[in-house]
Amino acid sequence: MRQHPISPVTEPMQYRAIGVVRGCYLPADPDQLTRGLIRTADGTEIEAVVLGRLLTLMRRHLDLATPHLWVVYPRSREENQLHLQMVGVWEPSTLATPTEAAPTASETTTPEADADQLPEGDDYFSIRGELIFTRPETGDLVIKVRQQPRPDGNRPVPFKLQLRGDIPLEHLRHFVALDLRRQGQQLAVERFEVIGPVAERGNRGGRARKPGGDKGGPAKPKGHGRAVTRQGR
């Protein structure tokens, strides 16, 4: 079976935010590749930073003048502006040695031209987390994503992603799994699945919040008084 840059989910409420973007990486400083931007085929320039072993791979094996399919973690730093943390590249046709930063396909009869393509296509993102905000008037929604504890035991602060899409208000404070597509500087929902209510942190009994309830429920923003219709596929 062919490998995939996005690992399968192992738990129903497994948080994550990961995706792939095809484009040319343009470092801000040719001598320092850690910061720059990804220029996509549609002309969008997305702010990006390079993490981990990918930096070594880029210096030794990749032609940065040509487009690549980058494996990235999305972040929302400013409104309507996407920020990407680059952690890998998917290019099994040219990268023969499996590494964490450059996963490869297993030996099959798949042509090399197809090996660099993913079933989901370019600009696909998978985001799983808690729905904490949705606004019917504009189609805005916000997902909170929690990260795993670090080796030293410290827990990173959860981060929030500003997305585009329609998810009904009744699913507020529920854990949702989203398939999204990058559109310019934004990520738009193509499909969503509601996994279940998110339990209040610190609640020993693990009882979930009542979605939209007055006791312990989320405060509703102004103008947030009717359900959002589900976005068409």
Q: What is the pLDDT of residues 193-225, one digit of tens each?
A: 999 999 876 544 444 444 443 333 344 343 333
C-alpha dihedral sign at 67, 69, 73, 74: positive
Q: What would the mean pLDDT of 186-198 be, rounded to a whole number?
A: 96
Task: Show the tokens assigned to 128.
Answer: 């799983």
What are the structure tokens assigned to 68, written together?
A: 């690549």
Which pLDDT does position 204 carry in this prediction?
Answer: 45
The pTM of this model reads 0.78
Q: 101-112: per-residue pLDDT in tens? A: 444 333 333 445
Q: CA angle, 123 as apex, 138 and 105 as ends, to 5°? A: 150
